[in-house]
Amino acid sequence: MADGPHAAAHDAHDAPRELRHHFVDMEAQQEASALGMWIFLVTEVLFFGGMFTAYVIYRASYTRAFEGASNLLDLKLGAFNTAVLILSSLTMALAVWAGQQGKKNLIVLFLTATILLGGTFLGVKVIEYKQKFVHHEVPGPHFVVPEGLPRQSEMFFSLYFCMTGLHALHMVIGIGLLLWLIARARRGDFTPRYNTPVDMVGLYWHFVDIVWIFLFPLLYLLGRHTL
């Protein structure tokens, strides 16, 4: 803690190569990165928040249409994807842990598992989207109002595609970041002293998981009690 000017001067000579000169030490640098990442995530909360607000308003206005349309979603696939995403958060947390230990092979192993799980999620999403196209439940000129439902069910599907689509886009970006991390990990960039990128991508990945934790009950479960 109390370093004094001597320690600082000493530091200037053999500072870690990952340490930018404007930070006192690695911990200060890591904390600044984490704070910046969290602030970015705050903007993401508000980004998704706009859609959640639209959802709340239209659901309050057209409750029956929303409940009926929601029951047309494939709950088995949705629940499976929820489990897959939670498992991917576990492997991501373990990758961050491995990064803190500087265990190169474990980092690569856990990051690869996270990518495979993220890919599984997106694959299932493709199957779900395809079903919607086949059943004419995609908003637009080919939309057919499901039998017995108010026409505002189209609004539910608009929000469903916007919200899950934006979420899926975040997953695709996340997988890209994970591939970049694997390349860096294999190069031996991450040590117990420096593993900030793994940590930051971890924060992002968990945030995307949290978005799904809310999307799942709001999109798939809202009308099940009416069945």
Partner 1 sequence: MRRNESDNTHGHGSPGAYFAVFTALMVLTAVTLWAAYQHLGIWNTPLALSIATAKTVMVALIFMHLRSSPKLTAIVVATSIVFLAFLILITLSDYLTRPWLSIYGR
Helices (H) and strands (E) in the chain — how many of each? 7, 0
Judged by CB under 8 A, does residue 224 bind partner 1? yes
Q: Does 68 bind partner 1 (CB under 8 A)?
A: no
For residue 25, give both structure tokens. 């030490």
Interface pick for partner 1 out of 9, 64, 79, 172 (rule CB under 8 A): 79
Asked if residue 80 binds partner 1 (CB under 8 A), the reply is: no
Gap between the Cα atoms of 94 and 111, Å rounded:
9
Q: Is 194 helix (H, G, I), strand (E, B) or coil?
A: coil
Q: Is 217 in the site for partner 1 (CB under 8 A)?
A: yes
Q: Which of 9, 57, 126, 173 binds partner 1 (CB under 8 A)?
A: 57
Tokens of 96: 């961050």
206 binds partner 1 (CB under 8 A): yes
Is 213 one of the binding residues for partner 1 (CB under 8 A)? Answer: yes
What φ, ψ does residue 217 adopt, rounded to 5°? -65, -35
14 alpha-carbon distance from chain centroid:
38
Asked if 9 touches partner 1 (CB under 8 A), the answer is no
CA-wise closest residue to 175 among 126, 124, 111, 127: 111
Distance between CA atoms of residues 70 and 64, nearest Å:
10
Site membership for partner 1, residue 93 (CB under 8 A): yes
Closest distance of CB 123 from partner 1, Å: 20
Whether 118 and 88 have beta carbons less than 8 Å apart is answered as yes
Chain residues that interact with partner 1, rule: CB under 8 A: 1, 3, 7, 11, 25-27, 31, 34-35, 38-39, 41-42, 45-46, 49-50, 52-53, 56-57, 60-61, 75, 79, 82-83, 86-87, 89-90, 92-94, 97, 100, 192-193, 202-203, 206-207, 209-210, 213-214, 216-218, 221-222, 224-225, 227
